Structure 1
Amino acid sequence: MKFLFIILLTFLSLTSNADTKFYSKFSPNQGDEAFEIIYEKVKSSKNFVYATIYSWSDKGITDSFKEALEKGVEVKIVLHPSLAKKASIQKIAKELEELGADLKIAKMNMHEKFVLIDDNFVVNSSANMSGGAKTKYSENFIYHSNESIEGKALLVQFKKEFIILWNSAKDIFTKGETIAEKLPLETLQNLPESSDVTLYSSSMNFKVTENKVTSSAYKQGKYYTLSRNGGVKNQTWLVRDAILKNIKAAKMNIYLSLNHFNIRDISDALIDAVKRGVEVKLAVDNQEFKTRINNKEMTPQFVSDWKKIEGNSKKTAPVRVKYYSHLPSPRYWLLNHHKFILIDYDQENLDGTTLISGSYNLSKTAEHNQFDNMVVYKTIRNERIFKSFMKEFNSLWSWNRDSKDLPKEEFINQFTDLKDDTSVSLHMKEAISLNWDEVLKLRRKVSSFAKGIFKGLYSHKDCLYYDIKKQAFWGCPR
């Protein structure tokens, strides 16, 4: 009996410790806290900080890098190519490099968003380093430490990923310095390292080879060349295939929260899952709503195919849109910027649950034209993040809906109330979760009294209002 009691205490201790090693935060409600964790980890670093950045307007992370540098910490950052052309980022790059940092420009679009610190901490996220990601968008952050076997394995995987990104990137020269140093890598084999927590990256669709020291590429800091496995026409789909494998293995449910969904194979796999009795739900961003199938966005394709399943033609498709604009503009985004999939969630038995989360939108662009990642989490040791992501999905599913699961009237009315009795708003300050039929109903209602609003909307999406009497857009940027 005493022996069994000791085993029970040991198990409880292990599962309790696991809770502290993998944990998550979500914007916008926890956005400030989520960013503060990153700031504090960077500031308290002792040896190195490695970061990949797609969008950068957050002063807090800049100040954190500076504080780390002032302590003598090695700071290396790989930037999205177009970001490096911005005057504000060039200024920051110069300031950081004067303090000892090294910045490089990625070989192709740098869409990954992770920060790796001292071989003992990494945060992987859907969020960019921006104010919107902190306070307006729906985002997730997963924090990992080296205090578990899984954490140590994942840290090794992320470090290898950063080294490949770094060694294939072009150096930024701001003060006449020599090229930034090459980071050492034991093997150039670029494949996922299977474990209960596994990193899959679009970089793994490329073969890694070393450039000659005498080559012009090497002298630009590009120590590695990445060549497409299978070539341009037949390039491998490593991340997509990992996602498909898990969708096809689903037995009970699949919950997806998405910003962009452009891969037909995944839509078809979800429809097959529905046909075999798996519950499938999609919580998507406003940008995914389209009135017609266009063979690009797959959310309307999924809705159409779901309706064609026997018995579903008159039912409401299990898709909800985070709706905040009649046509979204980056000026007024309230994005559902998540990219996660939760599979076989069972509150009573989470041992069979899988979470897939990272920076990878479900698109060919994410797979072949930019650097993106997804991490696959399995086993009961990830129970805490499974529960937190299920809670986040449910929050998005019921965003500003009432206890009867109906849209709250005050949030629906914001789309139809008139400013000065003449103008309807195009963009809202509050989002609401609407199913496909509810969106269509709302748009029909708006169209009935605001004649012509949707006809010219695409070229006027940056405007604020539509005058129903003049049938003209106004509040447009100059």
Structure 2
Amino acid sequence: MRAPLGIIATALGFGILAAACGDAGVGSNEDDATSIPYAEGSPEAQAIRAVANDQELGVEQYDSSDVVGLHKKAAENLVAHRDGDPNTPDDDDFFDSLAELWTVPYCKTSCMHSLLDYAKQTGVYGGNENISVIFSPQSGQETHLQGIADAIDDEADETIDIAMYSYSHQEPVKGALIRALDRGVKIRFLANTDLANSTSKAGALEQLGIDVRRVTKIMHHKFAIIDGPRDAQTLDRAADTFIVSGSGNWSSSAATIYDENTLFFTGYPEMALRLQRDFDYLWAGSKDVVHVEGLEWDQTTGNITDELIAQHEDANTHAYLTSFNFAPTSSQGWSVLGTTVVTDALVEVIGGAQSSIHIASGHFLNEPIADAIGKALESNPNLYIDIVLDCQETSKSGTIATLKNKIEDLGGTIQYKCNTYRWHYKFAKQMHHKYMIIDGEDLYTGSMNFSLNAEINTFENMMLFKGEEHRALVDSYLVNHDMVRSYGYDSDALTALMEEIETGSTVPLTWYDPIAMDLDTFRDMKDAIRDRCPATKSWLDTPEAKTYNALFNSQPHWFDECHTEGYAWPEVPVDMRIE
């Protein structure tokens, strides 16, 4: 059963406002969806949907001029669409997009304006103008890559420090970096080893004059520090530093295919100092991969101390960093200290959860975290647990599988975002978030997957945002979580997929629109596929199964569907088929 947004989100309250009640766009005759006044995925759209989906608001509140102030028919139709039969909670149909809200009779332009006005009045929208988030996937000018390019163009005057796992050297970020260099901005780029070794990416950056270096551990950060406190004479500008950070790499897949979140913020001096110190620490212990001779290893001259950070301490934010689990060696390597500082912090807050825990993550392999969730459920059976993972996690076994089973047995929900029978990165529209929300109020988000490997073998970050000034931000993540856990619900996509699997002449092994499903449902789907297409049973000693097993990893596009008549894999060249 899907959790009502009004339960899982921070309560909106019934603030007093003078709602816009003009006639324009009230009637049901304004059907052209191109007239929707706000862009899908924008902060305004997220706030409008949060108010429309809040089940603490009923017809009376939506209709009242002292609360939301909708046309009465708009209020009635909105609630009827969202709640369905009030005696049947399973038929709730929350709004996943403004386009869906636009289909509600009498809820057009002025309706959306009134919903947004209420969001502004109650702090759901615009609670803190210094921070915003872009959720992927998006398209065109709405992507996080465009947001990054805009931030570089608008904010970078002197320096940019980038720590990045994966980067595509293409527009719009490429152009923004070139323009920054033309303005005299100094840019340093700390890359993961594979990226640092790439001549088409790191090599191209160095051709522009950007020094690219690597560390000998996995460098999994995805942040940029613009005009940061990196030198002795600039330590006092931490409050004006602009930061970009989140789950999304700077790649087209992260922009337009995967589920990601990317934060843009300024006015957070403690966060700026912590991230700058972490970058400087890794940069000092980095190694060069020389694509272009003569680039200067531009070292930081500032000294960011614990005492300096304490002067800017903010009880409602923090940056947890796995770099505290390592120490640099004399050979520019890193020794493992055996600590798990980020996991320890997350386990502690999980143990203190009172009402709910929401997680969206690509991986969920951190046994202490999974164990902590199970123990929290044991001590508080009413705790609401809702976890959404990437489909690749369906194959995990051993202790983590046992711990996940325990969470579900105790009443927690775990779903997997899937669009393929057999996972491959070239097919997968990945769940790539790495966030957790405690009690609908405290947001933890960053680059770190919920895996112990991320803690002990990888440089990562996990950021905390809480408090009234971050209420709108946290609510936007709750709206996003409700969306990702609901993939395929409204269109009944799973039923349609199963019908195609069971009756079609070709069996789909990938499908365009992802579906969120629990593990038992996914396994039932796999069994149905194997029944119709025995060639997918890679363990069988048949020519078609051996061909599938031998070639899938290198040529996955040959296996996006299975033919039930004739040869199962007609896309495989004849001379490549195993007899």
Same fold (TM over 0.5): yes
What is the match of residue 284 of structure 2?
A: 167
Partner SS for 1:284: strand
Q: Displacement of 1:407 after TM fit?
A: 4.6
Tell me the percent identity: 21
Choose from 160, 170, 187 the match for 1:75. 187
Report the Cα distance in structure 2 between the residues aligned to 1:318 and 1:307, rounded to whole angstroms. 6
Task: Please state if 1:29 is matched with 2:117.
Answer: no
What is the match of residue 320 of structure 1?
A: 415
What is the match of residue 246 of structure 1?
A: 349
Report the Cα distance in structure 1 between the residues aligned to 2:140 and 2:223, rounded to whole angstroms. 16
What is the match of residue 374 of structure 2?
A: 271
What is the match of residue 294 of structure 1?
A: 398
Q: Under a length normalisation based on structure 2, what TM-score does the superposition of the two structures give?
A: 0.67
Per-residue CA distance 1:169-190 (angstroms, 9 max, x = gap): 1124334316412113425779
CA contact (8 A) 1:196 1:379 kept: yes
Distance 1:90 1:143, change over 3 A: closer
Report the Cα distance in structure 1 between the residues aligned to 2:158 and 2:296, rounded to whole angstroms. 20
Q: Displacement of 1:396 after TM fit?
A: 0.6
What is the match of residue 563 of structure 2?
A: 467
What is the match of residue 388 of structure 1?
A: 476
CA contact (8 A) 1:93 1:174 kept: no
Report the Cα distance in structure 1 between the residues aligned to 2:512 and 2:535, rounded to whole angstroms. 23
Report the Cα distance in structure 1 between the residues aligned to 2:318 and 2:213, rounded to whole angstroms. 26
Task: Please state if 1:237 is matched with 2:346.
Answer: no
Distance 1:436 1:76, change over 3 A: same
CA contact (8 A) 1:259 1:335 kept: yes
Per-residue CA distance 1:42-73 (angstroms, 9 max, x = gap): 12310111111211225122221111001100
Q: Displacement of 1:18 after TM fit?
A: 4.9
Report the Cα distance in structure 2 between the residues aligned to 1:15 and 1:429, rounded to whole angstroms. 33
Q: Displacement of 1:453 after TM fit?
A: 1.7
Q: Displacement of 1:75 after TM fit?
A: 0.7
Choose from 251, 259, 264 the match for 1:130. 251
Report the Cα distance in structure 2 between the residues aligned to 1:190 and 1:467, rounded to whole angstroms. 67
Choose from 424, 442, 459 the match for 1:354. 442
Distance 1:475 1:360, change over 3 A: farther
Distance 1:367 1:307, change over 3 A: closer
Choose from 319, 341, 344 the match for 1:199. 319
Choose from 161, 175, 184 the match for 1:50. 161
Partner SS for 2:358: strand
Report the Cα distance in structure 1 between the residues aligned to 2:568 and 2:141, rounded to whole angstroms. 39
Q: Displacement of 1:107 after TM fit?
A: 3.0
Partner SS for 2:179: helix
Per-residue CA distance 1:313-345 (angstroms, 9 max, x = gap): xxxx61111110111111112000001001101
Report the Cα distance in structure 1 between the residues aligned to 2:353 and 2:434, rounded to whole angstroms. 18
CA contact (8 A) 2:324 2:341 kept: yes
CA contact (8 A) 1:256 1:283 kept: yes
CA contact (8 A) 1:360 1:373 kept: yes
Alignment of 1:48-447 (within 5 A): 48-60=159-171, 61-97=173-209, 101-119=210-228, 120-146=241-267, 151-177=268-294, 179-186=296-303, 195-207=315-327, 226-229=334-337, 235-275=338-378, 276-277=380-381, 278-290=383-395, 293-295=397-399, 298=400, 300-309=401-410, 318-345=413-440, 353-402=441-490, 407=493, 409-413=495-499, 418=504, 421=505, 423-447=506-530
Report the Cα distance in structure 2 between the residues aligned to 1:426 and 1:191, rounded to whole angstroms. 55
CA contact (8 A) 1:343 1:355 kept: yes
Q: Displacement of 1:473 after TM fit?
A: 3.9
Report the Cα distance in structure 2 between the residues aligned to 1:170 and 1:28, rounded to whole angstroms. 34
Per-residue CA distance 1:125-174 (angstroms, 9 max, x = gap): 1111111111110000111112xxxx122111111111112111112433
Q: Displacement of 1:31 after TM fit?
A: 7.5
Report the Cα distance in structure 2 between the residues aligned to 1:306 and 1:356, rounded to whole angstroms. 20
Per-residue CA distance 1:231-274 (angstroms, 9 max, x = gap): xxxx1001111111111110100011010111111111111122
Per-residue CA distance 1:372-415 (angstroms, 9 max, x = gap): 11001221111121011000000011112128xx5554455565
What is the match of residue 232 of structure 1?
A: none
The code of the aligned residue for 2:529 comes to V
Distance 1:410 1:362, change over 3 A: same
Report the Cα distance in structure 2 between the residues aligned to 1:476 and 1:184, rounded to whole angstroms. 58
The unaligned stretches of length 5 or more in structure 2 are 1-120, 229-240, 539-544
Distance 1:306 1:37, change over 3 A: closer
Q: Which moved further from structure 2: 123-132 or 30-39?
A: 30-39
Report the Cα distance in structure 2 between the residues aligned to 1:361 and 1:415, rounded to whole angstroms. 33
Q: Displacement of 1:284 after TM fit?
A: 0.8
In terms of fraction of residues, the more strand-rich structure is 1
Partner SS for 1:375: strand
What is the match of residue 104 of structure 2?
A: none
CA contact (8 A) 1:407 1:433 kept: no
The code of the aligned residue for 1:304 comes to N
Task: Please state if 1:39 is matched with 2:152.
Answer: no
What is the match of residue 86 of structure 2?
A: none
Q: Under a length normalisation based on structure 1, what TM-score does the superposition of the two structures give?
A: 0.80
Per-residue CA distance 1:334-369 (angstroms, 9 max, x = gap): 000001001101xxxxxxx21110010112221121
The code of the aligned residue for 2:562 comes to Y
Report the Cα distance in structure 1 between the residues aligned to 2:479 and 2:140, rounded to whole angstroms. 16
The code of the aligned residue for 1:201 comes to L
The code of the aligned residue for 1:204 comes to F
Q: Displacement of 1:307 after TM fit?
A: 5.0
Report the Cα distance in structure 1 between the residues aligned to 2:398 and 2:309, rounded to whole angstroms. 34
Report the Cα distance in structure 2 between the residues aligned to 1:115 and 1:332, rounded to whole angstroms. 29
Q: Which has the larger radius of gyration?
A: 2
CA contact (8 A) 2:207 2:292 kept: no
Report the Cα distance in structure 2 between the residues aligned to 1:17 and 1:395, rounded to whole angstroms. 21
The unaligned stretches of length 5 or more in structure 1 are 1-11, 212-216, 230-234, 346-352
Report the Cα distance in structure 2 between the residues aligned to 1:192 and 1:439, rounded to whole angstroms. 48
